[in-house]
Structure 1
Amino acid sequence: DWHADSYWRNRRLSPAQLQIHDIRLETWRHDVGAMLEMGEVLSSTLLPDLEQRDILATTIPFEELTKNRNEQNRLRSLAAEFGWMGCLRSNKFQETVFDSQDLRKCRWIHISSKFSDYLSGCLLALSDWSKDPSKIVAALHQLEHCIHQQERFSKHGRYFAPFFQRLSDEYGDEKDEDGPMLLSVPFLDWTVEGEPPPLRFQVDPREGYQSSRSSSHLLRSILQHFYRLEDTTDRESQQVFTKHKPWLTDRNLDLKVRRWYGHYPTSLNVDELWILVIDARHVVTFSSNQSWKSRWPPLQLSSRIMEVSFRGIRNAYLNTSNEQDYTSSTHIIASLSGALGMLHRSFWTDITLCLSDRYASYLGHLQYRLHRSPSTKLVMDLLQVQEELNIIISIMEQQMELVTSLQSTLNPRSNRGLSHASSRPFPKSNASTIPHADIATYRQVSFSHLSDPAAQLLDNLQREYADLVDLRENSNALINRTIQLVNIRLEDHGKAILVFTIVTIIFLPLSFISSFFGMNFSDIRDMDRTQGLFWIVACSLTVATLAFSLFLAFYGGAIMDALVTWKDHR
């Protein structure tokens, strides 16, 4: 019981709130041979290592690293709060399948919370202080500068602009390719309308309090992401995900959605993925807490990376003749693939009701309404679809730009013109290899036809991007067609209005005069004049009414503008 221990009770992070995964070579199936597997590390197995939880805070030479007293106090506070995470680090890594169970290819830690001060704490705690402490301090300074430079403010909480940046001074040194690096990218995820279900666990005790909204990076809706300085509460109900519910008219789809999601996906959110690379064997990721979603089907980000993205990259490695190593550079691509492909079928063909299907279904519904009764309300609905598609396409353009830049940075010598034959030479040790498999892999829930994971990620994004651009063009064509049909109907309505107006202007004065002369009063009933008087008065009033109506129609606006101008200057 971690909460019962006074050491962990008041700490912002404890081992029970982290998701720790080790990537190792395993021989779980004898007919396949050695294969990369990702296994989750239970928090209870960390107890022997956590006996040395305070050793980092007592061994770092703060006075030697900096002469600034404030800087020393800050490093001490970080070491006191996050120093226990140093027990999660290992300076040895697995080379063969026969190595000790304590060794691994790579360790991945996922934290379901986004406070920017976690980044400094994790970098300090998981770095190797036995080699070059001054370089770690310089990386911490670079990290602070990077956060300050890339963090943005909005009415709905802080957020990062899409970026990646190395935190090492030796940026161009090939020996430091897997040095510390920070990356942030937005990605789309679904949620339910209104308040989400209760979380299975909470990471930081500050979350949920109003005072933490100014420092945390909150989950935002797609409209809050775009209108960052405006209140979008009254517009959230107009989201396509909220308005269009195809399962209401399709019983088979309703059963699939309930079985797959457990809830009805009725809203679209924008989350952030942070990736903090410590070194070649340790990487930490951060995202919002979505523990109310299921782990299988993998609807949480960590389970999606573990069950789909990692296996896709692993299977691509095993199905190629090139021997590769799994490092933090590889896991960056796996994490990006899990996050950026959360709602896209190209990343996982088994997904039910993907993003493009959702908008295509709604556009089909609007097209049916167009054929039945085009209206201005239909134009407004189409404009809402086009607006959301523009936001999604803008996000995907940022994602593709970041992945392209990251691909060239991780491997500047890669040939982007290659497709099936492209292979990125990841940093590898002489003895650290993954054996080639001659048979198909098992549990292949993700298909990958490119041996370069970054190229496969970019290819999948481009496929989904092309589909969404086509949907946007279709929505634009529907808008133009609807406006044309509405204008044609307005022409018919205008003719009818013109006829009714003429009839009204002519016969209303006649009806009034006839009613006036037909009143049963002595001074009207006993008149000596003939009906000629009626026609003189009726025709004169009709002509005057028609002239006055035409005058107001052509000059009424100018008269009102002149009157308003006169009042303003009076």
Structure 2
Amino acid sequence: MEQGKGSPLQVDWQADTYWRNRRLSPAQLQVHDIRLEGWKADVGPMLEIKEVYSSTLLPDLENRDQLVNTMRIEEATKNWNEQNQLKILAAEYGWMNCLRSRRVQETIFDPPDHHKCRWIHISSKFSDYLQGCLLGLSDWSKSPSDTVLSLQQLEHCIYQNERFSKHGRYFAPFFQVLGDRDADAKGSEDTPMLLSVPFLDWSVEGDPPPLRFQIDPREGYQSSRSSSHMIRSILQHFYRLEDTSDRESMQVFTKHRPWQTDRSLDLKVRRWYGHYPSSLNVDELWVLVIDSRHIVTFSSNQSWKSRWPPLQLASRIMEVSFRGIRNSFLLSTKNQDYTSSIHVITALSGALGMLHRSFWTDITLCLSDRYASYLGHLQYRLHRSPSTKLVMDLLQVQEELNIIIQIMDQQISLITSLQSAFDGTSGRRRGQSHSSNKSYRHHASESLPHPDRATYRQYSFSTLSDPISQLLENLQREYVDLCDLRDNSNSLINRTIQLVNIRLEDHGKAILVFTIVTIIFLPLSFVSSFFGMNVYDIRNMTSTQSLFWIVSGSLTVGTVGFAIFLAFYGGAIVEWVFSWKENRRRRIKPRKQPRVLTEQRHTGFRNFEVLDAARLTKSGILIPLNDHGTRY
């Protein structure tokens, strides 16, 4: 290991075989501590998020095998299979117990180096890490049986909410409190919880650069087994059983490039984003609450993205959503504590507001602006030349907006259920599932101050002091804007179809004139060509010109009449022919297929009954007799 000037200690984790053979190492984690910092004397201590570098964890990691050696597995469960599974998980992830923050800050008068909450973020899509993190970060000294119960419910919860898709595993939005359902009666806030919700993100053309924090070393041959979910485009998210590769190039984020005509926007995109967005994707945020002081988040959001504007999920949570919540939270008139329950709302706000202007006003390529700009472009095309191609483009926009609105419906439903599950009196979490709408509730609406008392710049337009109500309000505001864009696209589609129909009516008149002229002069041209052939019997004819007009006139009248007859009665004739053939087939079929003999089974012998024997005898079919002299 080496230490550079002005930089944290650099450690070669791959040099140690202990970390080389493990799917997770401290270098692949983003560890943050939420703590009070007395950085301004006139304001007092402020909540801040500080990143904990992996090299600073080396003293704690000296006891990395302590959990494996001290786990009371026999006391936790009597099942031999569960004991064996716990030993395997402890050998793989037991070192994470060294990441537990043993120092907890209860009030602002405690020393400032004590932690409020420890947050670990993993850029991953592997569900195996959920069980490993829950086992490694849990406190096994209190109640091992409760931890085992939480692990069992976590595995069952993942299996229950898993859905099938051609493009990879995905999960329905859910939240589930794990462990003892009577935790509220015991006065405990340390019951684990698991939450999963989809959110929108974008990708770039070509292969993205490698992740900064995590590429699973065994991903190549174990991704099909352990992949929690795949990053999918919005079309793959909606059409789960179809191959949408031929339509991916038709996405608004792919074919609409507003920076090509706007020089200022082009400079902002290249300076802030580094890459031009090419497609709109659906990622999933997983939140695993270990206890009131430890929380783990998972997502596949690429960590190579720019940290300012914070397009990385972890950076957005630190730079945007955390600041907006802590400003109102810190100056509360009541004694509160920043726990994992509050950080769940912080993480949700950072993920769900990734591309929404309502969460961060300085975002350049937010969803509403992007689709509004493209609809303006299509409206300009509508005034110039309405066409069926324009209708297809408008339908594509409407389809994408419907998918985005559907995803936001799921998000709002989950947040609403989570809000209704908060306890307004005790702040203790109840061990109930999402389906029963009883989980846990934090007393926030009464204890949080008014936003005008905040001393730091607010990052949202909300005037609500409750963080989860603020999150809901921002989502609903963006939801209304996207619904308006969908309604506008619908009106543009109707208007385009009307204009196209008007033009088709004019085209129909032109086609009618062309058809009349063709029907009249095509027989004349045929007769003229026929009589103009330079052959012996036609060249030496003694007939006058009247023969030509008799033949051509008759042929013209016959052709026009036959065409009119087919136009008005052709469909009825075809239908009559098909019905006549069907009736004839039904009449002939019984004659070709004689009656068959059916067998009736009885207790001790077989008896055969003849169906319509008279008809069979009449038709010449011989019916043999059995030993008793009766016909079969």
Tell me, yes or no, whether TM beats 0.5: yes
Aligned to 1:418: none
The 3 A distance-change label for structure 1 pair 436 and 131 is: farther
Within a 5 Å distance, the mapping from 1:189-204 to structure 2 comes to 189-204=201-216
Aligned to 2:264: 252
Q: Are 2:532 and 1:518 aligned?
A: yes
Q: Is the 8 A contact 2:180 2:191 kept in 1?
A: no
Q: Are 2:223 and 1:212 aligned?
A: yes
Q: Is the 8 A contact 1:162 1:186 kept in 2?
A: yes
Q: Is the 8 A contact 1:275 1:283 kept in 2?
A: yes
Q: Which of 15-24 and 146-155 deviates more?
A: 146-155
The 3 A distance-change label for structure 1 pair 75 and 34 is: same
Within a 5 Å distance, the mapping from 1:21-100 to structure 2 comes to 21-97=32-108, 99-100=110-111
Distance 1:330 1:98 in 2: 21
Distance 1:546 1:435 in 2: 87
Equivalent position to 1:507, from 521, 525, 528 = 521
Distance 1:143 1:172 in 2: 17
Quote the RMSD (CA, aligned, Å): 2.7
Equivalent position to 2:168, from 148, 157, 160 = 157
Aligned to 1:324: 336
The residue identity in structure 2 corresponding to 1:398 is Q
Shift of 1:445: 4.7
Equivalent position to 2:549, from 516, 520, 535 = 535
Shift of 1:43: 0.5
Distance 2:503 2:358 in 1: 42
1:401-425 Cα distance to aligned partner (Å, 9 max, x none): 00011011123569xxxxxxxx962
Shift of 1:91: 4.2
Q: Which of 179-188 and 81-90 deviates more?
A: 81-90
1:484-516 Cα distance to aligned partner (Å, 9 max, x none): 111111111111101110110001111221232
Shift of 1:289: 4.6
Q: Are 2:157 and 1:139 aligned?
A: no
The 3 A distance-change label for structure 1 pair 557 and 536 is: same
Distance 2:540 2:210 in 1: 88
The residue identity in structure 2 corresponding to 1:379 is V
Shift of 1:231: 1.4
Matched residue SS, 2:285: strand
The 3 A distance-change label for structure 1 pair 564 and 339 is: farther
Shift of 1:521: 3.7
Distance 2:224 2:28 in 1: 21
Distance 1:401 1:436 in 2: 26
Q: Is the 8 A contact 1:241 1:268 kept in 2?
A: yes
Distance 2:38 2:450 in 1: 13
The residue identity in structure 2 corresponding to 1:108 is W
Distance 2:529 2:398 in 1: 57
The 3 A distance-change label for structure 1 pair 243 and 96 is: same
Distance 1:436 1:413 in 2: 20
Distance 1:56 1:200 in 2: 29
The residue identity in structure 1 corresponding to 2:86 is L
1:56-90 Cα distance to aligned partner (Å, 9 max, x none): 11111112222211110000111111111111113
Choose 1 or 2 for highest CA Rg.
Answer: 2
Shift of 1:170: 2.1
The residue identity in structure 1 corresponding to 2:532 is G
Equivalent position to 1:311, from 323, 332, 346 = 323
Q: Is the 8 A contact 1:170 1:176 kept in 2?
A: no
Aligned to 2:416: 404
1:221-259 Cα distance to aligned partner (Å, 9 max, x none): 111111111111111111111011111111111111112
The 3 A distance-change label for structure 1 pair 496 and 102 is: same
Distance 2:105 2:419 in 1: 26
Aligned to 1:417: none
Q: Are 2:133 and 1:119 aligned?
A: no
Distance 2:159 2:74 in 1: 26
Q: Are 2:365 and 1:357 aligned?
A: no
Q: Are 2:354 and 1:342 aligned?
A: yes
The residue identity in structure 1 corresponding to 2:64 is R
Matched residue SS, 2:393: helix
Aligned to 2:240: 228
The residue identity in structure 2 corresponding to 1:385 is V
TM-score by length of 2: 0.83
Q: Is the 8 A contact 2:464 2:470 kept in 1?
A: yes
Aligned to 1:420: none
The residue identity in structure 2 corresponding to 1:80 is A
Q: Are 2:285 and 1:273 aligned?
A: yes
The 3 A distance-change label for structure 1 pair 186 and 328 is: same
Matched residue SS, 1:285: strand
Distance 2:395 2:149 in 1: 50
Distance 1:437 1:542 in 2: 88
Shift of 1:327: 0.8
Greater relative contact order, per chain length (Cα 8 Å cut-off, separation 6+): 1
Matched residue SS, 1:22: strand
Within a 5 Å distance, the mapping from 1:408-487 to structure 2 comes to 408-412=420-424, 425-426=443-444, 441-442=455-456, 445-446=459-460, 448-487=462-501
Aligned to 1:188: 200
Q: Is the 8 A contact 1:322 1:436 kept in 2?
A: no
The 3 A distance-change label for structure 1 pair 136 and 81 is: same
The residue identity in structure 2 corresponding to 1:425 is H
The residue identity in structure 1 corresponding to 2:379 is Q
Q: Are 2:498 and 1:498 aligned?
A: no
The residue identity in structure 1 corresponding to 2:247 is R
Distance 2:76 2:445 in 1: 31
TM-score by length of 1: 0.92
Q: Which of 46-55 and 127-136 deviates more?
A: 127-136
1:176-203 Cα distance to aligned partner (Å, 9 max, x none): 4452000000000011133223333434
Shift of 1:447: 5.3
Distance 1:111 1:471 in 2: 35
Q: Is the 8 A contact 2:527 2:552 kept in 1?
A: yes
Shift of 1:317: 2.1
The residue identity in structure 1 corresponding to 2:171 is F
Q: Are 2:398 and 1:380 aligned?
A: no
The residue identity in structure 1 corresponding to 2:478 is E
Distance 1:8 1:178 in 2: 30
Distance 1:171 1:564 in 2: 72
Q: Is the 8 A contact 1:325 1:427 kept in 2?
A: no
Matched residue SS, 2:199: strand
Q: Is the 8 A contact 2:401 2:482 kept in 1?
A: yes
Matched residue SS, 1:233: coil
Percent identical residues: 76
The residue identity in structure 2 corresponding to 1:67 is K
Distance 1:118 1:562 in 2: 68
Distance 1:383 1:355 in 2: 17
Matched residue SS, 2:421: helix
Distance 2:450 2:516 in 1: 87
Shift of 1:518: 2.9
Equivalent position to 2:118, from 92, 107, 110 = 107
The 3 A distance-change label for structure 1 pair 525 and 171 is: farther
Aligned to 1:9: 20
Matched residue SS, 1:379: helix
Q: Is the 8 A contact 2:450 2:465 kept in 1?
A: no
Shift of 1:440: 5.5
Q: Is the 8 A contact 2:35 2:117 kept in 1?
A: yes
Shift of 1:356: 0.6
Q: Which runs of 5+ in 1 are unaligned?
A: 415-422
